[in-house]
Chains A and B, each alone.
Chain A
Amino acid sequence: MPHTIASRCGPQTRAPEQRPSPNPIGLGRSLCSLPGFASTGNTAADLDTPTDSLPPARVELESIDAAHAVLRLVGDWTVNSTRRPEPTLAASVRSDAEIGFDLAAVSAWDSTLIAWLFTLVANCKVRKINFQLTSLPDGVRNLLELAQAVPEHIDATPFGPPAGWVTRIGLALSRGWEAAQNITTFIGECALAVAALIRGRAQFRRADLLLFMQEAGAEALPINLLISFLVGLILAFVGAVQLEQFGASIYVANLVAVAMVREMGCIMSGIIMCGRTGAAYAAQLGTMKVNQEIDAFRTFQFNPIGFLVLPRMIALFLMMPILTLFSNLAGIAGGVLIGIGMLDLTFLEYWHQTVGSLTFNHCVAGFMKSFVFGLIVAITGCYNGMRCPNNAAGVGQATTTAVVAGITAIVVADAVFAVLFNIFKI
């Protein structure tokens, strides 16, 4: 039952009517529970009582003389009652007026009453209206005074004033420059960690490396095989439909073999590993940063790059070519299925055509790229994880950025390789 306050307002007040508590969500009940106030109890039945019959919350301003007035609040001031009036005083009230309160006719109240009074006092502050809080019942006054105890924090907004477009362009450029510096620093630190590894002064635990290799290798193999098999199948199918028109269906084998080995094998592995392992690295390192685990490494003189990033990088660098090899084989297997099933080729025919179409350069091109893609996935994943903001939303953001940046970087790098291979005739 909402708090009834009449008995706290002295003998001049009148008692409110007793009524069952219409209170669908339990709000306002807490206010009734002062010792000495009757409670109708909190039974399940009163949870569905309709609220239409509540006396509406009203305000009456009664002038005593030119400088004194009483603000009389009437009705039900709980969360269940209808809209309350605006918490302002009429402009006719003199700026140095003394306003007292009379809450005797309030049948029930909860935080909404205090919130209303709080806003009223704040709104009338500039008008220097003098509210006599002592005329409020104790419970209301205490809470109001508590709310007013700490002045509003106004000196800083979290985001600062909105910036003009020149400022925004400048900020974006300086952020871009900063990001370029950060990622360069990060790659530099990784290079130093690799140098330390070569000098035999690596700090990470061997078990970690083996675990990461298992996660990025054997555990990633099934999905890699499945996707590559289907990609090979699709390539072969699209090729078969076209080449069959020219009676050149045997060249499906060339198409699939060259496309898989040169491009699709490493790109598909790269993209799968970016979504699977790069995202996992960003989330792991991001969560570790939020938990201050990375700071803990620093305080024990461990280089977090060497301890956390390096083993992940090595694992992907070593596993990606192996995944690519399996991916190539799976893609070719997909081609074989179409060749035998749709084009009535024999396995041997298909196999000889495949072997004949692949040159050493095709294989070198594909494998060179796979090493680079492995590094790209590791670096985007770890970089974003290590730079994650210290909160839950930040971890999600870091993971998203890791995957988006990783896939973009893989495709861009592939384009760069295409140009380079063309120049060097690989």
Chain B
Amino acid sequence: MAGPPHIELKNVELAYGDFVVMRDITAQVPRGQVFVIMGGSGCGKSTLLWNMIGLRQPPKGDILYDGRSLPAAEPAEREAIKRKFGVLFQGGGLWSSMTLAENIALPLTEHTDLPADEIERLIHLKLALVGLQGFEDFYPSQISGGMMKRAGLARAMALDPEILFFDEPSAGLDPVTSRRLDDLILHLRDNLGTTVVMVTHELDSIFAVADQAIFLDNVSRTVTAAGNPRELLRNTDDPAVRAFLTRGGQRTPAPAL
């Protein structure tokens, strides 16, 4: 597709105060791709995600959506860019004082002019898409952790976002549920054309869904590998990347699909 990539990271630096966590992160994500941020614990994966969502401001570098810079945008434009985001937080991030239906209804009532019956239809659909049909009136405390995560995804999808951000989507899920979530992510990409940005270190997930990945290296404090993870596994010379993608050497370098 012509035009600028959907998401573009330009020499982004991540820092806490004076402490630089990562520097020179550069990547381009075309529309409708699954982009995975990988790396060991504490390397700044989630920090990069928070910067991309606009919860934090990168000290250096730029983050562009359709060619428009998020960090440099005026408040109104920033709002417009962020409206197209859907974010799934690690623990679901559901508002605990609201039922699942109310959790999904809130962004819909605040940001659209839809009448109540249409909002209700959308709530049913979004919950059904994540397999939670019939749980509308449950509070987050009344459902399991995996269900909370799926309900969080239903809320993230409420406004039909162009970009879905996932922070460790598989953390705390059993392998089957985690696999279903991967399938759902691919489904959203294929049928809705959603661009997906995902922070994870679940290898199975990475190989299953990623179109493109970057590896944040703890030692050199920058991106040391970028590309399709399966190709990376075959081609990389970097021992850290190889160790990561093979679980420290345990995994055969030709993962089953």
Residues in chain A within 8 A of chain B (CB atoms): 3, 25-35, 39, 41-44, 47, 79, 83-84, 87, 110-112, 114-116, 118-119, 122, 138-139, 142-143, 146-154, 157-159, 389-394
Contact = CB atoms under 8 A, between A and B. Distances in A.
B96 A158 contact: no
Interface of B: 1, 3, 6, 31-32, 66, 68, 77, 80, 83-84, 96-97, 111-112, 114-115, 118, 121-122, 124-126, 128-129, 131-135, 137-142, 157, 159-162, 184, 187, 190-195
Which among B135, B138, B159 has the greatest number of chain A C-beta atoms within 10 A? B159
Given A32-B193, A33-B162, A139-B192, A158 B141 contact: no
B86 to A, nearest CB: 9
In order of increasing CB-CB distance, the 4 nearest A-B pairs are A153-B134, A33-B193, A150-B131, A147-B128
Given A29-B162, A33-B193, A112 B114 contact: yes
B75 to A, nearest CB: 13
Contacts of A157: 137
19 contacts: A26-B83, A26-B84, A27-B112, A28-B160, A29-B162, A32-B193, A33-B6, A33-B31, A33-B194, A35-B1, A111-B122, A139-B190, A146-B184, A148-B128, A150-B131, A154-B134, A158-B137, A391-B96, A393-B97
B122 A35 contact: no
A110 B158 CA distance: 11
A26 B162 contact: yes
Contacts of B129: 143, 146-147
Contacts of A26: 80, 83-84, 159, 161-162
Contacts, number: 138
Nearest to A83: B115
Given A42-B84, A44-B77, A114-B125, 7 more contacts: A25-B111, A33-B162, A33-B194, A118-B121, A119-B121, A152-B133, A389-B141
A122 B125 CA distance: 11
Given A34-B193, A41-B66, A394 B141 contact: yes
Which among A41, A84, A111 has the greatest number of chain B C-beta atoms within 10 A? A111
A143 B191 contact: yes
Given A30-B192, A84-B118, A115-B124, A79 B112 contact: yes
Which among A3, A84, A139, A158 has the greatest number of chain B C-beta atoms within 10 A? A158
Contacts of B141: 389-391, 393-394
B126 A111 contact: yes
Contacts of A116: 121
A28 B111 CA distance: 13
A7 to B, nearest CB: 14
A49 B22 CA distance: 40
A34 B32 contact: yes
A254 B38 CA distance: 75
A87 B124 CA distance: 13
